[in-house]
Amino acid sequence: MSSAAATGRRLDPQAGEVIDRGSPLSFRWDGKAHTGFEGDTIVSALMASGVDVFSRSFKYKRPRGVLSATFHDPGCTVQVGDEPNVRAAHRRLAAGMDVSPENVWPSLKFDVRAANQLVGRFLSAGFYYKTFMKPQRLWPAYQKILGRFAAGGVTAADAEHGYYDKRYIHVDVCVAGGGPAGMAAAVAAARSGASVLLVDEEYHLGGHLRYGGEAELAALAELRAEVAAQKSIEVMTNAAVTGRYDMNWIAVVQRQPGISVRGRSIHERLCKVRAGALVVAAGLIERPYVFEGNDLPGVMLSTAVRRLVNLHAARPGDKAVVFTANADGDACAQDLRRIGVGVTVVDARTGGNIVSAKGGKRLKSVDLADGRSVDCDLLVTAVGWTAATPLLNMAGDRPVYDPTPARFFPTDRLPATVVVAGALAGDGSTAELIAHGTAVGATAAARAGHGSEVPVPALARVAHPELYRSTTHGFVDYSEDVSSKDMFAAKKEGYDSIELVKRYTTVTMGPSQGKLESVNAVAIMAEAHGVTDLNEIGTTVWRPPYVPITLGALGGRGFENTRFSPMQSWHEQHNAKPLVAGDWIRPEHYGDAAAEVAKVRDKVGIIDVTPLGKLDLRGPDVPKLLNLLYVNKWSKLAIGAVRYGVMCAEDGVVMDDGVTGRLAEDRYIMTTTSSGAATVWEWAESWLQTEHPDWQVHVTPVTTGYASMNVAGPKSRELIGRVVEGVDLSNDAFPYMHVRTATVAGVADCFMWRIGFTGELSYEIHVPAAYGLHVWEALFDAGSDLGVGAFGVEAQRIMRLEKGHFIVGQDTDGLTLGFGADLGWCIKLDKDDFAGKPELVLQSQRENYQRLVGLQPVDPTIVPAEASQIVEGAKKIVGRVTSSRMSPTLRRSICLGFVEPHLATPGTVVTCQLPDGRRVQLKVIEGLAHFDPAGARMKV
Amino acid sequence: MIQVPCPWCGPRNSMEFRAVGESKSRPDVATTTPEQWRQYLYTKSNLADWVTETWYHRAGCRRYFAVERHTVTNDIRESRLPAAQLRQKEGSGS
Amino acid sequence: MNPSTVARTPIARSPVAPTAPVEVVEGWEVSTRRSTAALQLADLTWLAKVAVKADANGAFSTRHPTAFGSARRPSADVLEIGSDPGGWLTIGPVGGAAELVERLTVEVADAGELVSVIDLTHGRVLLRLSGENSDAVLAKICAIDLADMVTPNLSAFRSSVAKLVTDVVRDDLVDGTRSYLLHCERSSGQHLFNCVVDAGAEFGIDIAGSG
Q: Do C8 and A165 touch (CB under 8 A)?
A: no
Q: Do A170 and C121 touch (CB under 8 A)?
A: no
**Per-residue model confidence as pLDDT tens digits over A154-189:** 888 888 888 999 999 999 999 999 999 999 999 999
- The share of chain A scoring above pLDDT 90, in percent, equals 90
Residue in C162, C158, C151 with CA at minimum distance from that of residue C195: C162
Q: Are C128 and C179 in contact (CB under 8 A)?
A: yes
A112 band by pLDDT with thresholds 50, 70 and 90: low
**Per-residue model confidence as pLDDT tens digits over A543-574:** 999 999 999 999 999 879 999 999 999 999 99
Q: Which chains touch A (3 or more CB pairs under 8 A)?
A: B, C
**Which chain C residue's Cα is nearest to B8?**
C85
Query: In this complex, which of B2, B37, B54 lies closest to A690 when CB atoms are compared?
Result: B54
Q: What SS3 class is residue A864?
A: coil
Number of helical H runs and strand E runs in chain B:
2, 6
Contacts of B26 in chain A (CB under 8 A): 691
CA distance A528 to C40: 67
CA distance A481 to A293: 12
Preceding amide of A410 cis, omega within 30: no
Whether residue B32 is contained in a domain is answered as no
CA distance A506 to A494: 15
Per-residue model confidence (pLDDT) at position A563:
96
B–C interface: beta-carbon pairs under 8 A: 25
Q: Do B82 and A690 touch (CB under 8 A)?
A: yes
To probe the interface with B, which of C160, C164, C167 has the most B CB atoms within 10 Å? C160
Query: In this complex, which of B2, B32, B84 lies closest to A693 when CB atoms are compared?
Result: B84
Whether residue B31 is contained in a domain is answered as no
Whether residue B48 is contained in a domain is answered as yes
Helix A498-505, helix A518-529: angle, nearest 10: 120
B37 and chain A in contact, CB less than 8 A: yes
Q: In angstroms, what separates the C-alpha of C38 from chain A's closest C-alpha? A: 17
Q: In angstroms, what separates the C-alpha of C116 from chain B's closest C-alpha? A: 18
What is Dmax (Cα atoms) for chain B? Answer: 42
Per-residue model confidence (pLDDT) at position A129:
67
On the question of pLDDT at A909 being above 70, the answer is yes
On the question of pLDDT at C5 being above 60, the answer is no
Q: Do C85 and B60 touch (CB under 8 A)?
A: no
Q: Do A246 and B56 touch (CB under 8 A)?
A: no
C162 and chain A in contact, CB less than 8 A: yes
CB contacts under 8 A, B 54-83 vs A, are: 54, 56, 58, 62-64, 74, 82-83
On the question of pLDDT at A143 being above 90, the answer is no
On the question of pLDDT at A737 being above 70, the answer is yes
A901, HSE (Cβ side, Cα atoms, 13 Å): 7
Q: Are C148 and C129 in contact (CB under 8 A)?
A: no
**Which chain C residue's Cα is nearest to B63?**
C85
Per-residue model confidence (pLDDT) at position A539:
87
On the question of pLDDT at A128 being above 70, the answer is no
Q: Which residue has the higher pLDDT, A487 or A127?
A: A487
Query: In this complex, which of B20, B32, B74 lies closest to A246 when CB atoms are compared?
Result: B74
Per-residue model confidence (pLDDT) at position A6:
41
Q: Which residue has the higher pLDDT, A654 or C4?
A: A654
CA distance A663 to A500: 69
C80 band by pLDDT with thresholds 50, 70 and 90: very high
Per-residue model confidence (pLDDT) at position A149:
67
To probe the interface with B, which of C142, C165, C168, C188 has the most B CB atoms within 10 Å? C165
Dihedral of alpha carbons A557, A561, A566, A571, sign: negative
Per-residue model confidence (pLDDT) at position A137:
84
- This prediction has a pTM of 0.94
**Per-residue model confidence as pLDDT tens digits over A815-831:** 999 999 999 999 999 99
B30 and chain A in contact, CB less than 8 A: yes
**Which chain A residue's Cα is nearest to C143?**
A168
**Which chain B residue's Cα is nearest to A840?**
B34
- The share of chain A scoring above pLDDT 70, in percent, equals 96
CA distance C10 to A744: 10
Q: Do B84 and A842 touch (CB under 8 A)?
A: no
ipTM above 0.90, yes or no: yes
Q: Do C4 and A705 touch (CB under 8 A)?
A: no
C199, HSE (Cβ side, Cα atoms, 13 Å): 25
**Per-residue model confidence as pLDDT tens digits over A25-51:** 999 999 999 999 999 999 999 999 999
**Per-residue model confidence as pLDDT tens digits over A639-672:** 999 999 999 999 999 999 999 999 999 999 999 9
Q: How many domains does chain B have?
A: 1
CA distance A176 to A277: 11
Amino acid identity for residue A858 in this structure: V
CB contacts under 8 A, C 115-154 vs A, are: 116, 118-124, 139-140, 142-143, 145-147, 150
CA distance A853 to A592: 28
CATH at residue B69: 3.30.2270.10
For the segment A281-298, the average pLDDT, to the nearest whole number, is 97
**Which chain A residue's Cα is nearest to C3?**
A782
Q: Which chains touch C (3 or more CB pairs under 8 A)?
A: A, B
- What mean pLDDT is reported for chain C? 94
**Per-residue model confidence as pLDDT tens digits over C131-180:** 989 999 999 999 999 999 999 999 999 999 999 999 999 999 999 999 99
| Rama region for A144: left / alpha / beta (φ>0; ψ in -120 to 50; rest) | alpha
Q: Do B8 and C68 touch (CB under 8 A)?
A: yes
What is Dmax (Cα atoms) for chain C? Answer: 66
**Which chain B residue's Cα is nearest to A836?**
B29
Q: Do B9 and C157 touch (CB under 8 A)?
A: yes
A5 band by pLDDT with thresholds 50, 70 and 90: very low
Whether residue B50 is contained in a domain is answered as yes
A139 band by pLDDT with thresholds 50, 70 and 90: confident
A104 band by pLDDT with thresholds 50, 70 and 90: confident
**Per-residue model confidence as pLDDT tens digits over A206-259:** 999 999 999 999 999 999 999 999 999 999 999 999 999 999 999 999 999 999
- What mean pLDDT is reported for chain A? 94
Whether residue B61 is contained in a domain is answered as yes
- The share of chain C scoring above pLDDT 90, in percent, equals 86
CA distance A659 to A645: 6
**Per-residue model confidence as pLDDT tens digits over C29-76:** 999 999 999 999 999 999 999 999 999 888 899 989 999 999 999 999
Contacts of B8 in chain C (CB under 8 A): 68, 85
For the segment B42-52, the average pLDDT, to the nearest whole number, is 94
Which domains occur in chain C, in start order? 17-46+123-208 (3.30.1360.120), 48-119 (3.30.70.1400)
Query: In this complex, which of C68, C85, C160 lies closest to B16 when CB atoms are compared?
Result: C160
**Which chain B residue's Cα is nearest to A831?**
B30
Q: Find the angle CA(A899)-CA(A902)-CA(A907) to the nearest 5 degrees.
A: 80
Give Cβ neighbours of residue B33 (< 8 Å, ≥ 6 apart): none
Q: In angstroms, what separates the C-alpha of B77 from chain C's closest C-alpha? A: 22
**Per-residue model confidence as pLDDT tens digits over A447-506:** 999 999 999 999 999 999 999 999 999 999 999 999 999 999 999 999 988 999 999 999
Lowest mean pLDDT among A146-150, A337-341, B86-90: A146-150
Per-residue model confidence (pLDDT) at position A2:
37
On the question of pLDDT at A64 being above 80, the answer is yes
On the question of pLDDT at C4 being above 50, the answer is no
Per-residue model confidence (pLDDT) at position A107:
75
Q: What is the span of the domain harbouring residue B84?
A: 3-26+37-92
A–C interface: beta-carbon pairs under 8 A: 139
Give Cβ neighbours of residue A386 (< 8 Å, ≥ 6 apart): A284, A285, A286, A287, A407, A408, A515, A516, A518, A519
